[in-house]
Amino acid sequence: MFTGIIEEIGKIKAIKKGNLSATLSIEASKVLEHTKLGDSISTNGVCLTVTELLKNGFSVDVMNETLNRTTIKELKMGSEVNLERATRLGDRMGGHMVSGHIDDIGRIHSMAKQDFATLVYINAPKHILKYMIEQGSIAIDGISLTVVKIDDEGFSVSIIPYTKKDTTLLDKRVGDYVNLECDLIGKYVEKLLSNKDGKGITLESLKKYGF
């Protein structure tokens, strides 16, 4: 579990591609503190397991499913990535609950300056837009951000200078793709409120469970 508060920007130093997988070597420093083999590190929002500790970084294995569902497949030598170690019990929850399991990919449609901030509009699939609410949370490439507006085609977030400096989001361009993970709560609530026949809450189901 992560919070979406990026600890460090890492850099891809090596990529070894297999037929259905890849191994990434990532240059980093801060996230190496107290990290051991088997630990999880969010890499552009994707939860990946440390398979090797290097002098100035670490390596991770990426399976085919992850390559197909995320922007990890687009990384190249020298690409910068947002990094965050898994949250420890007792740590401050500065962002929101982020699992590192990407729901889908969005595409940056526009960027517009608003005084000291930058408003970023991202096109997103309808099946994940339903889990977003205005002033709710969304993880974009692992960054915990607040949704400003939503419409039928996508949503917008506002990036302050601190986030600009400490993440890779505003280094991207219009047309670039980003990993999206919706707030966990909405998905779990939907699952719990639906019944096996897919009809959701009905008068009959309420009576069945004593309401």
The domain segmentation of the chain, as residue ranges, is: 8-85, 104-191
CATH topology of domain 104-191: Elongation Factor Tu (Ef-tu); domain 3 (2.40.30)
The rounded distance, in Å, linking the Cα atoms of 25 and 102 is 21
State the DSSP code for 117: E
Using alpha carbons, select from 113, 144, 132 the residue that is nearest to residue 5: 144
Which band of pLDDT confidence, cut at 50, 70 and 90, is reported for residue 31? Answer: very high
Q: How many CA atoms lie within 13 A of 39 on its CB side?
A: 21
3-state secondary structure of 121: strand
* pLDDT of the residue at 20: 93
Contact 149, 133 (CB under 8 A): no
pLDDT at 209 over 80: no
The rounded distance, in Å, linking the Cα atoms of 208 and 164 is 52
Strands (E), 18-142: 21-27, 40-43, 46-54, 57-63, 80-85, 104-114, 117-123, 137-140
Contact 179, 46 (CB under 8 A): yes
The rounded distance, in Å, linking the Cα atoms of 3 and 197 is 35
Average pLDDT over residues 111-129: 97
Length of the chain: 211
pTM of the prediction? 0.90
The rounded distance, in Å, linking the Cα atoms of 102 and 90 is 25
* pLDDT of the residue at 76: 97
3-state secondary structure of 163: helix
CATH topology of domain 8-85: Elongation Factor Tu (Ef-tu); domain 3 (2.40.30)
Which band of pLDDT confidence, cut at 50, 70 and 90, is reported for residue 199? Answer: low
Domains 8-85 and 104-191 share a fold: yes
